[in-house]
Amino acid sequence: MTSEKTVLITGTSSGLGLATAIGAAQAGWTTIATMRDTGKADALLKAAAEHDVADHIQIKRLDVTDPESITACLEEVIAEHGRLDALVNNAGAAHIGTIELIGVDEVRTAMEVNFFGVVATTRAALPHLRASQGRIITVTSVGGVVGQPFNEAYCAAKFAVEGFMQSLAPVAATLGIDVTVIEPGAVASEFVANLNLDLPTTLAAAGPYAPALEAYIARTRQSFGNAQTPTDAATPIIDALTSDRPPFRIQTSPWARDFVSTTLADLDGSAVQALTSTWVR
C-alpha cells in the first residue's frame, strides 16, 4: 500500500476511530479523519505527532446525520486527492434505556446516528469506491449480533447495519468493492462515558425497571473494566483495510468471537436468552 491510497474514516475524535486513523496512516494510507466537531481534533493531532504520521492525516468535518456535510466532505476529498479507496464507517453513539421509559423519539435519534448515518455515508461514497474498486469497512458491534438488555435502540441500529451490509456485500462485489463489518466487544474509550449517565437520577426514574437496570449497569461497568484498548481493537480494522480479500465479518478479540457465536450457532434463540437474562437478575 502506498500513500496514494485514500481512506475516509468517520468518528475519529477519540477512542477506536482515533486509533484507526493512526493505524491507517502508519500503514501508508492518506487518511481523511473526519468528526462532527473539528474543535475536538486535539487528541488526534497529538497522537499523529507522537507517531510521526501527521503528514498522512487530514482532518475534515463530517456529520453523518447531515447529508450536506457528507456531500461536502466527499467533494473536497475527490477534489484534493482525486480518489477514494476505502470508507471506514466508525461514527456512532451509545444509548441505554428501555422502550417504555425512553419513547420512540429516542429510538429514532439512535437510529439516525448509528444506522441512517452509515447508510447515507456509504451511499455517497459508493460512486468513488466503484471507480477505485475499493472497500467499505463498517464498525458495528457484538451488539449487532447479540441483542442486549436496555440496549433496544442501539442494538436495533447495529442489527440493521449488519443486515444492510450483509445484503449490500454481494451486490458491491460484482463491482469489485469489498464489504466488511467489524464487531468489537467492550473498548476502553469515551464511548460509554459520552452517555453522561446520572445513575441515581436514572434509577429513580426507572420505576419497576430499576432493579434490572442497576444489575445491568453493574455488569457493564465490570466488562468495560476489562475492555480492549482502542489500539488493539483497531488492529483488525487495519488488517481489513490492507489485506487482499478481507472476510465479511471480523471480531476484534477472542471474547468477541465467542460471544457472537452464541447467536450465530443459536438456531432457536434460547442460548442468547439464557445468557442475557442473567445480566438483569
Judge whether 216 counts as a catalytic residue: no
The number of CA neighbours under 13 Å toward the Cβ of 136 is 31
**Cell digits of residue 256:** 468477541
d(CA 140, CA 246): 16
Please pick, among 115, 150, 154, 216, the residue that the annotation labels catalytic. Answer: 154
Contact predicate 205/101, CB 8 Å: yes
Burial 175-202 (b: 16+ CB within 10 A, else e): eebbbbbbbbbbbbbebbeeeeeeeeeb
> Residue 21: enclosing H or E segment and its boundaries?
helix 15-26
The secondary structure of the chain in percent helix, strand, coil, rounded to multiples of 5, reads: 60, 15, 30
> Residue 33: enclosing H or E segment and its boundaries?
strand 30-35
Catalytic residues: 154
